[in-house]
Every structure is written in C-alpha cells, then in structure tokens.
Structure 1
Amino acid sequence: MNKFSALSVINIVTCILGIWIFLKDIYTVYTHGRNIVKAKKDTGLGIFWGISLIFWCALLWFDIKLYLSYKNNNIINNIFTSIFGIEISISNIIRSLRSLEIRENGIYKSGYFYKWDKIKSYNLTSPNTIEFKISTFFKGNSSFEFTIDEETKPKVDEVIQRNIAL
C-alpha cells in the first residue's frame, strides 16, 4: 500500500507540474502583446505533437476503461501518466504554433520568447532579412535570422526601432 501511495503522490505532483507548464504557455500567449509578423510556420512539430496528443488520449481512454472494468489501483498510475502526456502535448502544440514571430513585447524563436531587453542588436543582412543577436541564459551570444515581407516591413521597422536601443 505504501508503494501505491508514494507513486500516486509522484504522479499527482507530475500532473500539477504539467498543468503549470500548460497554464504558463497560455499566459505567455496573452501577455506578449499583439502579433506583428509571423515569419514561418513550422508544421512538422505541430503534426508530431498532434499525433502524440491523439496517442495519449487513446491511452487514457483505454486505461479508464480498464480501471472501470477491473478496479485495479495500479491502473490509476497509468491514468496520471496519460494525463501528463496530454498536458505536455498540448503545451508543445502551443509552442510549435509560435515558431518565429515578432510581437509587440518581444520575439518568439522556436517556442521561446525573448523580450526586447534580451536582444542586444540587429542588422539587415539583406533587404528583407533581419539578424537578431540575443543574450542567452549563460551569458553566451546567439543569433537568428528573420525574413519579412515587403508589406509588413514598415510596421516591423517601427516596432524594432521603438524597442531596441542601439
């Protein structure tokens, strides 16, 4: 019985962690300002995490049916694991939809958000390509390129010049 209790506590804590990650991703979508321009859509990761979500939902359904049939308490641990898998899949779907975009309060790159104060500098490498240099967690330097359309270029220039002091 103690083994079941310890494993259940770990699974509950894991599900709470998954809920926190999910809510944090939802919160960041709303607090990072209006979307100015989205550079590219990364559908590959979205498809992968969508298939993962379907897998975890099917597994959850199977585990719930199994629990209702046999009332085996060990199956509850599988249910918590499936719930955590669903939470992580939804969180990563949200991140994959924000692959590379400029927003009012910063820039998304591969699901991570860089506020304007983390961006050290930028320069135009071609008429429609901007290279951003960012400061990372371990004080290392990183950079990425962002290609924009002609019709959104004035709006992007305005937002960048307003937020990045060179």
Structure 2
Amino acid sequence: MSGFYGFSIFAIVLFILGTRMLLKDLYTFYIHGKSILKVEKGIGLAIFWLGSIIVWCLLLRQSVKLYVRHENNGIINNIVTNIFWIEFSVSNIIKSLRSSEIRENGIYILGDFYKWSKVKSYNWISPNIIEFKVKAFFKSNSSLELTINEEVKGEVEEVIQKNIEL
C-alpha cells in the first residue's frame, strides 16, 4: 500500500523511529557528564555494526541508482528502510563503544543510562564486582553489575558515595 509520493506508512514510521533512537543515543552521549571510569567497551560489536553500515550503504546506493534511472517501483520505501538500518547501526555503534561506564551524572550500562537519583543502593559482591540496585521504568527494582579493575576501586567508591544518597 503506497501513501503520499510512494512512501508507505511503515517506511515513514521506521524513519521516525530510527531518527528518534539515534538522537536519543547522541543526547545520552553528550549530555550526561564527563566519563569518570570506563569499565568495558564492546569493540567486537562496534566492528559488527560498522560492517552492517557498509552493507546498508551499498544497498542504499543501489536503490538510489535505480530511483535515478526511474525504475522506482517501491524503491522509495527501500531507500527509507535502508536509511533506518543505517541509523540503527550507528545507534548500536554508539552503544557498543560505551558499553559500561561511570559518569558524572550517573552510570551507563549496556546501552542504558541511569541518573544517580535512580540508583537506590550499591554493594560490592566481590573485590572487583559492584552491584547497583536501580529504579527501572517497568520494574520497581533492577540489579545491574559492573566488573572493574581493583586498582580503581577507591576512585569508584568515592564517586558513588559522593553521588548516591542512601
């Protein structure tokens, strides 16, 4: 089913969702204070998503070529869908490069950011593993674990004590 100028509603929704997701990740990346401690990075996932971007860009290029040649039966939807997947891949690169870290304004774990006000408590469950109890959106309690180097345990403890009101 085609809508306005050959765009399907599904393609428009995909484009809007992709743009929203990318803008949210960029906002999180820039606005949540400087990084105090980077715990881990998902470089392997970043490489996967970079490969994904290359594939989607090649597909986008092919769709644009077909559109320019006026072979545009449904090509507009392919172009918009490819743009969504590029946005999705860039968003996942941002998340994978920032897998887990402690920031000035909260903690960033596996693509989600928790402001210090959302952290209810914390506990060292081993010499290098810290568990945070946070207020999650759909759950009343959620547990998150970070593995850190023991050399920076004092610095981590200082940042947490300064920011969490127990």
TM range (shorter): 0.7 to 0.9
Superposed displacement of residue 23, structure 1? 1.5
Superposed displacement of residue 39, structure 1? 1.2
Aligned to 1:44: 44
- In the alignment, structure 2 segments of 5+ residues that lack a partner are none
Q: Between Structure 1 and Structure 2, how many residues are aligned?
A: 165
Aligned to 1:129: 129
Aligned to 2:4: 5
Provide closer, same or farther for how the CA distance between residues 3 and 125 of structure 1 changes in structure 2, counting only shifts above 3 A.
closer
Partners in 2 of 1:135 and 1:23 — Cα distance?
A: 24
Provide closer, same or farther for how the CA distance between residues 37 and 72 of structure 1 changes in structure 2, counting only shifts above 3 A.
same
Aligned to 1:160: 160
Kept after mapping to 1: 8 A contact 2:127/2:150: no
Superposed displacement of residue 111, structure 1? 0.4
Superposed displacement of residue 83, structure 1? 0.7
Partners in 2 of 1:44 and 1:50 — Cα distance?
A: 10
CA RMSD across the alignment: 2.0
Which amino acid in structure 2 is aligned with residue 79 of structure 1? I
The normalised TM-score by structure 1 is 0.88
Which amino acid in structure 1 is aligned with residue 111 of structure 2? G
**Counterpart secondary structure, 1:82:** helix
Runs of at least 4 residues off by over 3 Å: none
Provide closer, same or farther for how the CA distance between residues 70 and 6 of structure 1 changes in structure 2, counting only shifts above 3 A.
closer
Which amino acid in structure 2 is aligned with residue 102 of structure 1? I
